[in-house]
Structure formats: C-alpha cells, structure tokens
Structure 1
Amino acid sequence: MTSVSYPAAQRVMVLYTGGTIGMQASASGLAPASGFEARMREQLTGQPGLSVPDWCFREMAPLIDSANMTPEYWLRLRDAVVEAVDVQQCDSVLVLHGTDTLAYSAAAMSFQLLGLPAPVVFTGSMLPAGVPDSDAWENVCGALVALGQGLAPGVHLHFHGEMLSPTRCAKIRSFGRHPFAALNRTGGVAKAQALPAQLNYCQARQLTTVGVLPLVPGIAAAQLDGMIDSGIQALVLECFGSGTGPSDNPAFLASLQRAEKLGIVVVAVTQCHEGGVELDVYEAGSRLRGVGVLSGGGMTREAVFGKLHALLGAGLELAEVRRLVELDLCGELS
C-alpha cells in the first residue's frame, strides 16, 4: 500500500484560547494569562536547529480555563479557524487549549469544520510553560513539526509526540504526560456517502443545546423528565453495556417516547471504556430503540456530543439529523 503524503505547512495560524499551557500564578491560583505569543517566539528563536513552519498568532477573547469552555465559544473558535484559512490564507491552524475539555473541543471542531481544506491541530499541556518539567514546549514544537511534515486536512489532537483522532479518544488521566488515549470503541456503520451542503465548514451555524444523562441503577423518570423539560434539543443517554437501560420501568420508557414526540434527538452510547452500543442484542436495549432512541454505536461521549451540536446547528431537518447520527461522518464510527 502506498502511503499518502500531504503538503507541508507553510503558514500556520496559532489560536491561543488559554488553558494551563499559558497560565501564570495569581492570588487565587493558576489563571489564563496574555502574552503567550512573545514567550512562544522567544522559546522557538532559542532553538535555531528546530525547523518549523512560519506562523502567526491570534489570542482569543476571553482567555479561559478550559473547564469554562462552552458551545458558544466553539462557534467563535470555528469562525476564527475559517477566517484564518479563507481570509488570512493560512494553510494550517494550531489551537492551544486546556486539557480538561480539549477532547470535547477537538471532536466538536471535527464536525464543525467538515470539508475544510487544511489541517487543524489541537494541543496543550499538563503543566504551564516555564515551570520545571513542563510539557508545554515539547507539545507546541511537536505539533508545529508535524504540520511542517504535512498532515491530512481535518482535525487532529497532538500530545507528547502522538497524533490522535479527536473523535476516537478521551482524556483518561489527570496527571502525567499521556493524559489522552484512543479508546477501543466498536460498533461502526456505513460511512455517509454524501454530506448535505449545510454541513460544509463555510456554512453558518446556530447555537444549540445538548444534554448528557448517565444511567445509574434506580434512575427515575423524573430525572429524565427534568432533562427533557430543560429546553434541550438532543440528549446523549449514557447506557449500560451494549446499550441497555431500565426497560422494566414504564414511566422511564414513556418519558423517552415523549422526548421523541417533542423532537428531541436521543442517542445511546455506552458507559464502558471499550466496545459500543448494539441496541438489538438485549431486550433491555431493543425497548429503548422501540421508543425512538438512536444507536451511537462506538462513539465516545465527546464525539456524539460534538456531532449533535454540529448537525442541529446546521439547521438540518429532524429526519436528516436522525439519519446522519448513525452514519460515519469523519471517523467517529470507524
């Protein structure tokens, strides 16, 4: 098999959102800080043997701890990426992001930027730049070097020398240099043969509301009703095993059916670290399918959450959203 090579990046836009990588001490602890561009230029200039593409820098506003990331911020980040590529003629983008929600944002951008003719790499660090044993510069330099060697268009997650698919990984550790890992999720389906024009990266997006509800033993319909009545447009239902839930609870099933009638898209994913959802294996799963729950297959929580925001935010008809949920758009189900 012949490996595919991609053009080396010539001009990279660095989008700095905040996060640990650029944090500095404050009276209340580490907090996002401006001035990272100057620190980055000083660091790279001090490594004359390092070969990286030319780059420019944009500081997003506000700078945030990634624990404060929101879907509204995603839309502004998406617009910044599109502007960098389509207006400022950058051929690649590097996003500096806090690690707590980095996998969520990278997965979300994978769907928000479908069709973008440029690679976008997310990275960050577990320790701030400049502190002893920090991983900040190795991740920044590693991402730039990878872009300089050529990457496929689409969104990537780079950390500690490893390139991961954002729609197939998650943050699994709160310490060390390897916080992210690819998850062994299964349950792939057919890839979408053609995407609606509304999903192309250059089309406008609307802000949407997606909820997440993990199932636990004894969960009551009232808890599900609270989510349904909160104004959500979609719900990620984190089920047991291969997609089972309280199938002998008529009130719970009735609430799920009510969600479908209200036009709320409910998608089941597994709570397990490995495997995926197969709703028709057990009766407890097939009953969920019977009241309108869709299968998330092997999608991670991060992937399905971002996918639902993208599909609903594109203004697609509800039937089309439901159809595309169960099809692979950018590797989330393959």
Structure 2
Amino acid sequence: MDAHQLPSSVPESQVLIIMTGGTICMQRSPSGFVPARHFQQTCLAKIPIFNDGSQPQVFLDVVVNSAGERKKCSSLRTPPSLYERQVRYTVFEFEELLDSSSIDSKGWAEIAQTIYNNYTLFDAFVILHGTDSLAYTCSALSFMLQNLGKPVILTGSQAPMSELQNDASDNLLGSLVVAGHFMIPEVCLYFNYKLFRGNRATKVAASDFAAFDSPNAPPLAVTTSMQTHVNWDLVRRPTSLENFSIRTNLDTSHVACLRIFPGIKPEMVDAVLQLEGLRGLVLETFGAGNAPGGRDDAMTKVLASAIQRGIVIINITQCLTGHVSPVYAPGMTLFRAGVVAGQDMTTEAALTKLAYLLALPDSTSASVARDMANSIRGELTSHSQAVFRHPDGDGLSARTTTLTALGYAIAQGDLEKVQDLMKGENNQVLNDSDYAGNTPVHIASHSPSLEILRYFLLQGASVHLRNRAGRTPLFLAANDGLADHVKLLRKSGAHLHADERALAETQARRRPGVWALAGVGTGSLKERHEVEIQSQSSFDGDGGNNKMQAIAGSAPA
C-alpha cells in the first residue's frame, strides 16, 4: 500500500529525544555559545512544525534512572506528515550537558542505559549530540546496543537552533520523521537530509551543513521535498531469538590510534606500542593498507613483536573511500606479520569495535583479531552477509501478492508453503501489512503453527510493529491465550506497547497466567527484566524498488 493511502487511524508514534548537549541546544552567552537547558520549552514548543498545539496536557512516562524511577514529562506532537501520521515526543535532558569533544565511554554508557531503561515505553529514540565526536558515539552505540529492534537515530547541527540561520530544525525534524515512520532497527546518523548507518559515517566538514558522509556505504534513506526514500535492501534486522540488551563496559583506556606518515620512525611506533596496558592499536596506513617496512624491515619487526605480546593491530586506510587489501608488497608484509586488515571500516568504527571486543568476557587476542575482520553490526562490507532486497519489476504488486498468499499459508499452518513463498528476495514482505495493518508476524502470532512464527522471527521480522488497531503481535498472542507464542515473542524481544497496557491489565483479570508471561503486572524495571528472564528460561519449544515509499508495515506504531 502506498504511504499516502494510509488511513488517519494509524496510531501516532511515541519517540524519546535524549539531549546530551552539543551545538544544537546552545545559546549565546558572554563567554560564547554554551549548552542551554529546557530545549523542549524554549525551542521546540515555539515552532509549529514541532508542535501542532493539540493535546498539550499529554504526559509521557520516562524512566529517569537505573532504579526504574519514572517521571511524567510533558510532550509535544508534530503536525501530520505526508504519511498521515503524527509523532508525539518528549525531550529528556542529561543532568550534565556536554560539548561533544568532552564525551567519553562514560557518556556512551549513559546514553545506552537511558535507551535500555525506556526501551519498552517508546517506539524509537532520537539522540541530540555535538558533531565533533558524533561518528564515534554512533559507532560505539552500534556495538553496545545488542539485538536492537527499534530505530535509534543520532543527530546534531552545525549551528544552534536558536540562531536565525541553522541546520538544526531540518536535522531534528528529519530524524523525528524517520524514527516515527520507518522500522529501521539500527543505530543511525541523520544529517543534511540523509540517514547513514551510524558505524559507516564520518565527519567530513568542520562548518558545512553537509558535515557527514558515509564514503563506503550508501545512505539508508534520503529525504526529498516530497517523501523519504528508504533503501530497504540495506537495512539490517535482528535474526536471533534474543531480547534487547546493552553492554556498556567498552575498554577505551587500552586502545590507541596511530597515523602513518612518510618518514615515520620505527622507534615512534614502538613507543606507542610499549605504552603500559595497551591492548589494541588502529593503524592508519597509506592507500590500500601500505606502510613503510623500514630499513631491515625494522617497522615490520616492531609490529610483529607487539602482536606476539598480545596486542591486536588493525590496518585502516587513511583514504576517505576504498578498503585495505594486501595487494601490494608492503600491505602483504603487514598481513603476514599478523596485522588485521580492517577492510573498509572507518577509524571511528575500528576504534570503538576494538574497545567493545576487548571488553567482552573471556576475550583473547586471537578472538578479537578474528572478530575485527568480520562484520558484526554492518560496520564493514561483507559479501557473505544476507541482504533484504525488493523483487525486480513492480515490487509493491509482487509483494502484495506474496503477502496475500502468506496469509492463507499461515492460517493453514503450512510451514513448507510459507518457506517456499519466502524464497528468493521477498524478505521485505515480512514488515508489509494487509488492509488492517497486520504483518505476517501479527497473523502468525495467533495462528496455530508456532514454527511459522519462529521462522518469521529468524528471518528478521519486527515484533514491534502495530496494526491499525494499535495492537502488537504479543498482544494478539496473549489475547488468544497462546502461551507458547507469547514465550517465543518475548524471547525475541517483544513487549506490550504503552498504549496496550491498560486493556491488557483488564484482560489479565480473566486470564492472568498468559498475560503475566506477556509482562502484565510487572511495573518496575527490575520486575520487567525478571519476567523476561523467566519467560526465556521457561520456553521449551524447539524448534523491486530500492527507493520505495513508506508502506504501512514499514513504520513503528
């Protein structure tokens, strides 16, 4: 279905904006621009495109600390978009607003924890951040947020929103529209009308509005004057039956980055590699991964010696585009010495990925070196990675036909027929929806075959999309009393939407067991997590057009 045909009954999306600081919220002061508080009231509430003025007394719950304490926050709502959907949002400001040049792994952990605490309360998250270290934060979060099933979009600006001429309004509005309309479950960076995969982006200009680019990967989406074009074949989706979780202890204090230059002495490199506690080094080399070997291969010996001591060294090209490949003798020499080819990763991605892997329990130099060479969050080009493509020709019509056939096969419990329909390049149909807004997962969630539901989840289907009535697959399964379906959905990270909870609590009085499995009656953050763990442990089942307009099933609800 074309986005412009969406009925007005589509539920509004709820987005949490997390304010960390940066230029976007700055205001003039006698000492220059400084981060300013009350961004929602002083800036957004006064701008019609961010505040339609309706229902001003709607408050949204926000978890404000790890203890699960909630605070009711005032919210604003955007006017209807071209897709006839409105986005309701609230701004949560960090206690200390930072210039991005001051952020570190502690700040990254605070962002990740805030998302984790509020994950079940919002459809998507927008993070406002300074531009200087924005690419580093995007890359770090992409590794820290595990089994992510919702959009997380970072943005900022080159000029404050309080200034007459600024890029802040377009960047924030574009981020809100994408977050509230499209189920892109990745950490992304939105800037100057383009949505990039966060760990493929880098800052390329100090003052231009087009401050970021993704040199080795095309944008995931581009905003035009008429609509947002999403390259759905590039979007990554979780394909494992696991709940969303975070890992916050990045080992940033034991990694370093060194840029090779003509005439660099082996002693200089050795001095860095001899730093106490150093565990990993990102080496920025010439061209396709070349570095001077030095007289009598002195440089190579320095690197090889460090690798033998357990230091992981990653070879990243200094060039903006292209990748490391040992096609020349100098690059081959490094490769043979044990230096890991970083392929087409950015320096930001390589450094944060190295810090993430080194902090994993039971990590070894060998395991880190192995994983640095493989894509784990789409941070490097991997030809073996599965992609989600639209069929050629009239993609929308073909997918509509497939969706209809899938509905019949699901109702009949015919797993073989479902698998046959999904062969080829029809994975995108998983998030498409019928006239009632039901995706294949909605249909499977209250159909007899548990294996069909499991199959869809393992193919990357979203458990967070809502139908026209505002219902998630988890609600439908619980409402039908299908305990095993509920357990499987919960194991895959599903949770009830905030708008469903009141009705779910009413239904739970009649059938408390299955609704308890769905998370009803577990108000605190700690209790919700305990139920999720219990649900997982008790589950014993086995078991065409890349610039397509938004469609009903492509939006979170």
Tell me if both proteins adopt one fold, taking TM over 0.5 as the criterion.
Answer: yes
Partner Cα separation in structure 1 for residue 187 and residue 212 of structure 2: 15
Per-residue CA deviation, residues 266-293 of structure 1 (Å, 9 max, x unaligned), is 10010111211012x1221111112221
Partner Cα separation in structure 2 for residue 322 and residue 35 of structure 1: 45
Structure 2 residue aligned with 1:19, among 3, 19, 22?
A: 22
Partner of 2:283: 237
Partner Cα separation in structure 1 for residue 248 and residue 163 of structure 2: 41
SS at match of 1:29: coil
> Is the CA contact (8 Å cut-off) linking 2:280 and 2:311 kept in structure 1?
yes
**CA, structure 1 residues 150+65, in 2 after alignment: closer, same or farther (shift >3 Å)?**
same
Partner of 1:93: 125
Higher strand share: 1
SS at match of 1:152: coil
Per-residue CA deviation, residues 141-178 of structure 1 (Å, 9 max, x unaligned), is 11111122123111111112211112222111112321
> Is the CA contact (8 Å cut-off) linking 1:8 and 1:151 kept in structure 2?
no
Per-residue CA deviation, residues 83-105 of structure 1 (Å, 9 max, x unaligned), is 1215xx22211000111111111
Structure 1 residue aligned with 2:341, among 288, 295, 306?
A: 295
Partner of 1:4: none
**What's the Cα RMSD here?**
2.8
Partner Cα separation in structure 2 for residue 316 and residue 185 of structure 1: 32
Partner Cα separation in structure 2 for residue 62 and residue 299 of structure 1: 32
**Shift, 1:41, TM fit:** 3.1
Partner Cα separation in structure 2 for residue 8 and residue 71 of structure 1: 36
Within 5 Å, give how 1:45-84 maps onto structure 2: 45=51, 49-51=79-81, 52-84=86-118
Structure 2 residue aligned with 1:257, among 291, 295, 304?
A: 304
**CA, structure 1 residues 200+77, in 2 after alignment: closer, same or farther (shift >3 Å)?**
same
SS at match of 2:33: strand
Structure 2 residue aligned with 1:217, among 262, 274, 278?
A: 262
Partner Cα separation in structure 2 for residue 41 and residue 308 of structure 1: 41
Partner of 2:252: 208
Per-residue CA deviation, residues 194-218 of structure 1 (Å, 9 max, x unaligned), is 99x9x97334534433211000011
Is 1:227 the counterpart of 2:272 in the alignment?
yes
Partner of 1:3: none
Is 1:305 the counterpart of 2:339 in the alignment?
no
Structure 2 residue aligned with 1:266, among 303, 308, 313?
A: 313
Partner Cα separation in structure 2 for residue 253 and residue 8 of structure 1: 60
Q: TM-score, normalised by structure 2?
A: 0.54
Is 1:320 the counterpart of 2:350 in the alignment?
no
Structure 2 residue aligned with 1:145, among 177, 184, 199?
A: 177
Partner of 2:161: 129
SS at match of 1:26: coil
Q: Greater relative contact order: 1 or 2 (C-alpha under 8 angstroms, separation 6 or more)?
A: 1
Partner Cα separation in structure 2 for residue 222 and residue 259 of structure 1: 13
Partner Cα separation in structure 2 for residue 147 and residue 167 of structure 1: 18
Per-residue CA deviation, residues 276-327 of structure 1 (Å, 9 max, x unaligned), is 1012x12211111122210000111111112112212223422221111011
SS at match of 1:278: coil
**CA, structure 1 residues 24+291, in 2 after alignment: closer, same or farther (shift >3 Å)?**
same
Q: Percent identity?
A: 32
**CA, structure 1 residues 8+155, in 2 after alignment: closer, same or farther (shift >3 Å)?**
farther
Partner Cα separation in structure 1 for residue 25 and residue 141 of structure 2: 22
Partner of 1:277: 324
Per-residue CA deviation, residues 114-160 of structure 1 (Å, 9 max, x unaligned), is 31221100011110012111111121111111122123111111112
**CA, structure 1 residues 124+8, in 2 after alignment: closer, same or farther (shift >3 Å)?**
farther
Partner Cα separation in structure 1 for residue 307 and residue 239 of structure 2: 26
Per-residue CA deviation, residues 42-83 of structure 1 (Å, 9 max, x unaligned), is 332267635542222221232111111212321222112211
Q: TM-score, normalised by structure 1?
A: 0.87
Partner Cα separation in structure 1 for residue 173 and residue 130 of structure 2: 17
> Is the CA contact (8 Å cut-off) linking 1:253 and 1:291 kept in structure 2?
yes
> Is the CA contact (8 Å cut-off) linking 1:72 and 1:207 kept in structure 2?
no
**Shift, 1:9, TM fit:** 7.2
Gaps of 5+ in 2: 1-9, 54-77, 219-235, 382-557
Per-residue CA deviation, residues 250-272 of structure 1 (Å, 9 max, x unaligned), is 33222212221232211001011
> Is the CA contact (8 Å cut-off) linking 2:19 and 2:93 kept in structure 1?
yes
Gaps of 5+ in 1: 1-6
Write the letter of the residue equivalent to 2:79. Answer: G
Partner Cα separation in structure 2 for residue 9 and residue 299 of structure 1: 37
> Is the CA contact (8 Å cut-off) linking 2:282 and 2:350 kept in structure 1?
yes
